[in-house]
Homo-oligomer: A and B are copies of this chain.
């Protein structure tokens, strides 16, 4: 009864969160109503056009609030094209949520499969709302098109919760702020969902939802701002006052560290604070807990690879010019080759080490290759991308073995795949020949600084959060509940019946 009450308590908290969204909504509505007369005025000026709007509303209607400003301007086919390509890339990245869910569900016990689907479904639901209300404004306080300008005006930034403002105040990107938001939101959700795998099988639902909200709404946007919002990781070397820019910057094209490293290290913090699942390490022995549905896990890896074609090539953000589209296609090929190399090398290594080709290792090797190339898919040559992916495939195996030795229980290998290879992808830019190095746009020290500081931020904040959750009894289910499985204990339903 008390337990049920406590659970209801958390539901109320979630509801409060949603209510908190209503405040800005009210503001937005008030604003909208204040603007309405202006719109009417304009209608008087152009009655014929207004008429047309009334009759063919589908064709003429744009986003309600911005219509007055944008009506007169047509930015041409290039603008439409950039939007459309970024949109389809965002949609591919969205689908990675399904991939993560399948990989995690497949590689864990059937008694936790409902819980895993729940976490992954709620990740994206909570994530998009919080990244809308808070995260996006926090990450791009002045829009990110002109990083230097952002840097200059940081003191006068309109505040963190400025999504609405961003849309209205001269945001001059090559694409709609809305598709930009969508692309960024699914990245944030990716960072959040990575953690899910590392804490599988023993974490309370309420604690998980709190973690997920804080990561998507606060932690990810802050470190994301450091790099993609024009923060300190973009301001190394000399400052050129004419161009209003810095000579050097931490390079992380699509987020090996910004997204994957952060998620991987947040997951590591969770795995450490939670402790291993019961029975995972008995005395000095490590006892593998095999996944319950390997075909699902394999499907998940295929879905992730598929979605990665949105993640990496889409991060080019502009697609119209020949240079841009060529660069986008280059990202596609390096992503492909690194995934292939990572998969083969991890398979071969597992074969050499354990005597049989291990599918789990092969699948994790593919993901390792993908994570590794994420930072540098733009600047590595095709041949070097194979090397980057292959080294990722080595690292993931040693990461898994290392965690095993340290008795840290990361059920799906979230840290070896996303944390370790996330760092490697960034360091590679400081080691392997590429144009950034050649042009002096970065250095090994800057790459190391960037990657490590983002991962440390993820690990540190999340270690504190998970410790607090532990202190207040919201982190880990009871041993009885764990052994029964979270599906029954947390959700009251089984994943499989007949």
Contacts and interface: CB of A to CB of B under 8 A. Distances in A.
Interface of A is mostly: helix
A355 interface: yes
Contact of A359 (B7, B121, B297): B121
Nearest to A115: B359
B18 A74 contact: no
State the copy count for this chain: 3
A249 B297 CA distance: 45
A36 B438 contact: yes
A271 interface: no
Contacts of A71: 323
Contacts of A124: 340
Of residues A14, A33, A80, A298, which shows the largest number of chain B Cβ atoms within 10 Å of its Cβ?
A80
A348 interface: yes
A473 interface: no
Contact of A495 (B87, B294, B390): B294
B306 A91 contact: yes
A51 interface: yes
Nearest to A297: B117
Nearest to A33: B433
Of residues A18, A50, A323, which shows the largest number of chain B Cβ atoms within 10 Å of its Cβ?
A323
A496 B7 CA distance: 33
A214 B109 CA distance: 38
Contacts of A121: 298, 301-302, 343, 359, 362-363, 366
A330 B434 contact: no
Contacts of A293: 295, 495-496
Given A344-B129, A366-B121, A438-B36, A181 B243 contact: no
Nearest to A234: B55
A88 B325 CA distance: 13
Contacts of A383: 21, 24-25, 28-29
Interface in A29-64: 29, 32-33, 36, 39-40, 43, 50-64
Given A39-B438, A344-B126, A381-B65, A359 B118 contact: yes
A303 interface: yes
B57 A435 contact: yes
Interface stretch (A98-106, A195-203, A410-418, A458-466): A98-106
A355 B494 CA distance: 16
Interface in A95-138: 95, 97-98, 101-102, 105, 109-111, 113-114, 116-118, 120-122, 124-129, 132
12 contacts: A18-B341, A18-B344, A21-B386, A29-B433, A50-B439, A52-B243, A74-B321, A105-B298, A121-B298, A121-B366, A128-B340, A290-B494
The 3 closest A-B CB pairs, nearest first, are A98-B302, A11-B351, A117-B298
